[in-house]
Amino acid sequence: MTPHHAHSGHEDHTPDHGHGHGHGHNSGGLLRRARAVVGGHSHDHADSLDDALTASTDGIRAVKISLALLLVTAVAQAAVVAVTGSVALLADTIHNFSDAFTAVPLWVAFVVGRRPATRAYTYGYGRAEDLAGVFIVLMIAASAVVAGVESARRLFDPEPLTHPWLVMVAGLVGFAGNELVAGYRMRVGRRIGSAALVADGHHARTDGFTSLAVVVGALGSLLGVPLADPVVGLLITVAILVVLRSAARDVYRRLMDAVDPHLTASAEHALLAVPGVWGVEDLRVRWVGHRMRGEASILTDPSLRLAQAHQLAHAAEAAVLAAVAKMDTVTVHVSPATQESGSSAHHPLEEGRPS
């Protein structure tokens, strides 16, 4: 007896599992909105689709707004570079332009990720966000090369910095613009579960601090240290490389299906808390874009009938969906517990097992 149960919008599951989670579709949008107002949590497949679409819409809005803000900031800095010739500000401006345009692949990824699954792409198109992450890493690397080369050239062939006070103002503008974008991106990214958007927010925050470094370089020029400007440009290049390392690591982890171990632990604890679950034999969780999918194998009483096992799988699924906020789908496999399987599984309190 090894029934499977997957969260699906094509069946009407009516049994009551004591959790109050209905799967029928006759409730309509009005009831779903009412549940949202009172803080209820539903596992209706239509609600999951609504959540995913809302998350994508929020993500698209975030990249649009951040793109506009960073473009305004970068254009303003570019105008100051043309007047002053500051290589440090040029490096920061290049980085801000590259950071602004990383919003474009994210925008495309959110749009593509809304497409429904097909027979070829059975998990949907959520992984487009991971491809956008690869593009972001390449953009960061390119900005590091351009900024480093230009800073090194000015270090060996220095040019006088004009209007240092204007450079300082431009650096402060860059910091303010990046900090606004960073906070907004990370706030939206955490809410919708988009690691790419959160990482891009951290990228913008680091850009803000490099803008402050431009202010330091201009201050050095005011104090009679002309090499301060290209030296700060090189320091900004190092800062970009640090961001590159962090971003590349995050993208690699996502491509390799890594998840926060705390999420896996939350899902496992939720399974073990379901009455009738004797142990968790296997549990796998993966991100698909900014939503999650899970697969679990649970152990239970070998004397359960097929209908009872199906009901247990349904309850286990509901428990995981309630415990892990960004989880869209859980496939639960129910196996009869044996002495061999029991020795390798995680078990809840012994009181739930027969004597």
What domains, with CATH codes, occur in the chain? 4-39+259-352 (3.30.70.1350), 45-255 (1.20.1510.10)
Average pLDDT of the chain to the nearest whole number = 75
Measured between alpha carbons, how far is 178 from 204 in angstroms, rounded to an integer? 5
> Residue 331's pLDDT band (boundaries 50, 70, 90)?
very high
For the purposes of burial, counting CB atoms within 10 Å of the CB of 160, is it exposed (0-12), middle (13-18) or buried (19 or more)? Answer: exposed
> Which range is most confident: 44-58, 267-281, 329-343?
267-281
To 10 degrees, what angle do helices 103-113 and 195-222 make?
A: 170
CA atoms within 13 A on the CB side of 248: 10
pTM of the model: 0.66
In this predicted structure, the answer to whether residue 20 has a pLDDT above a threshold of 50 is no
In this predicted structure, the answer to whether residue 310 has a pLDDT above a threshold of 90 is yes
Q: What is the pLDDT of residues 204-213, one digit of tens each?
A: 777 777 777 7
Are 171 and 215 in contact by the 8 Å Cβ rule? The answer is yes
What does the pLDDT average to over 342-353?
50
* 334, β-bridge pairs: 298
What does the pLDDT average to over 119-131?
87
Residue 29, pLDDT score = 41
Measured between alpha carbons, how far is 314 from 209 in angstroms, rounded to an integer? 50
In this predicted structure, the answer to whether residue 14 has a pLDDT above a threshold of 80 is no
The region of weakest confidence among 24-28, 138-142, 297-301, 328-332 is 24-28
In this predicted structure, the answer to whether residue 316 has a pLDDT above a threshold of 90 is yes
Q: Could you give the percent of the chain with pLDDT greater than 90?
A: 18
Residue 55, pLDDT score = 62
